[in-house]
Amino acid sequence: MNQSLFILLKKISRSACRKVKLFIIIALSGIANLSFAGEPTVLIFIVDGLQRDAAEAAAANGAENIKFLIGNGVTVREAYCTSPAPRMFLPDGSLPWGTSSSPNVAMHTGTHVFESRMMDDIFLSARRAKIKSVFAGGAENYVEFTTPDFCYAGSLTDSAVVQYGMNHFTKDNTRLIRLHLQQIRDSWTGPEEKLNPGSGYQHAILRADALLGKLILMFKNAGVWNDTYIVLAGDHGMGITKESEHPPSVPSSWSTFMNFYGPGIKKGKSIPYAETPDIAIMVNHFLRLEPLKGHTDPKVKIEPKGTTGTFLCNIFEGNPDEITHPKYIKRYLESKNWEPSDDYSEYRLAMLSYIRESLVPASH
């Protein structure tokens, strides 16, 4: 079944009954056998702090799997993360998401602000559809992510992180695999060496690329490759010093890499713009799930409480390259002349303002 048909079904899913959707499938596809070619598998492969220029440099110098995904998928030319601040303090001083950084919550929930732990996410959405999931991340920060069926976080090597994903795919048929490689940060010595093929940083990307290759081979050997989607991305950018840090006051901390690959996705193309919350929206769609719900805590009063990420229909074959994207994060950075505060609260207030504006009907 082609991707445009899934997009149409998504639009009518809230109001159409199962029988109506079945009729539309028959009428539009002309396919007597309504079974899918295969159930989709989604891999979210996050390399901590990976930026587009570094990924493309690696692809040109031996990172064959990254090169393949760039050449056979869609890369975002201008991708921004939600606030890269290390802590998400709410006005009352609380940290509902502990020490996890906001882009990691955003790519799970499809939202730009995170007012409570009671939020819907891709793992809960998958579970409602009886799809098993696994999360593994190489830092203690990720212990906050407890909604996947299988969760691992701590001082894990990249190899161990990937092995957890492989083990649960093989033994438990997990179809949502979210892996976060952390060791690349150990090789950061500053932006001067970021693109040097002989640098420790570029060699770290090559090691991550080799692990990505193991996963791709696993999917092929299991016979699910043709139904597999991959999101290859960084969670945030990097700073401009030799320290492995990403302060919000530095514009490069907000700039990240983002690539989408899979059935129905354009090959070797790029789209102009995307933000980290868009990843959750797309992953949920790849898995053919009902829309994410956003904030589910009745105490949260923000509106809309639902998702604020954008559905990137422009990554799919047959669709234009340009879409109307609210560009909340770029608008915020521009409003601060690309010199935002390191304080997460400034970002939060800006996002809440933009989200409220989006609810006001345009005047005629």
Residues 276 and 105 sit within 8 Å (Cβ to Cβ):
no
Mean pLDDT of 198-204: 97
**Cis amide leading into 103 (omega within 30):** no
- CA–CA gap between residue 257 and residue 237 (Å, rounded): 8
Q: Taking the C-alpha atoms of 336, 112, 82 and 185 in order, what is their torsion angle to the nearest 10 degrees? A: 160
Pairing status of strand 133-137 against strand 269-275 = unpaired
Secondary structure letter of residue 362 according to DSSP: P
35/319: higher pLDDT: 319
Mean pLDDT of 338-343: 95
CATH number of 36-359: 3.40.720.10
Tokens of 316: 């799919």
pLDDT band at 357 (very low <50, low <70, confident <90, very high): confident
- CA–CA gap between residue 146 and residue 34 (Å, rounded): 35
Query: Which residues partner with 228 through β-bridges?
Result: 41
Tokens of 275: 């933000």
Nearest to 104 by CA among 297, 305, 246, 217: 246
- pLDDT tens profile 23-74: 333 233 332 222 345 899 999 999 999 999 999 999 999 999 999 999 999 9
- pLDDT in the model for residue 303: 84
Q: Taking the C-alpha atoms of 241, 244, 250 and 255 in order, what is their torsion angle to the nearest 10 degrees? A: 120
C-alpha radius of gyration, the chain, whole number: 20
- CA–CA gap between residue 255 and residue 103 (Å, rounded): 11
Enumerate the domain spans of the chain.
Answer: 36-359
174/8: higher pLDDT: 174
Tokens of 344: 């997460």
Q: What is the pTM of this model?
A: 0.89
- pLDDT in the model for residue 360: 58
- pLDDT tens profile 94-119: 999 999 999 999 999 999 999 999 99
Residues 269 and 98 sit within 8 Å (Cβ to Cβ):
no
In order of 84, 136, 170, 276, the CA distances from 80 in angstroms are 10, 23, 34, 6
What is the chain's mean pLDDT, rounded? Answer: 89
Residues 351 and 111 sit within 8 Å (Cβ to Cβ):
no
- pLDDT tens profile 276-316: 999 999 999 999 999 999 999 999 988 889 999 999 999 99
Phi then psi for 243, rounded to 5 degrees? -75, 145
Mean pLDDT of 233-256: 96
Q: Which range (14-28, 49-63, 145-159, 168-182) has the least confidence? A: 14-28
- Cα dihedral 336, 112, 57, 238 sign: positive
Residue whose pair of structure tokens reads 């409220």 in the numeric block: 356
- pLDDT in the model for residue 13: 36
Q: Taking the C-alpha atoms of 311, 104, 173 and 228 in order, what is their torsion angle to the nearest 10 degrees? A: 40
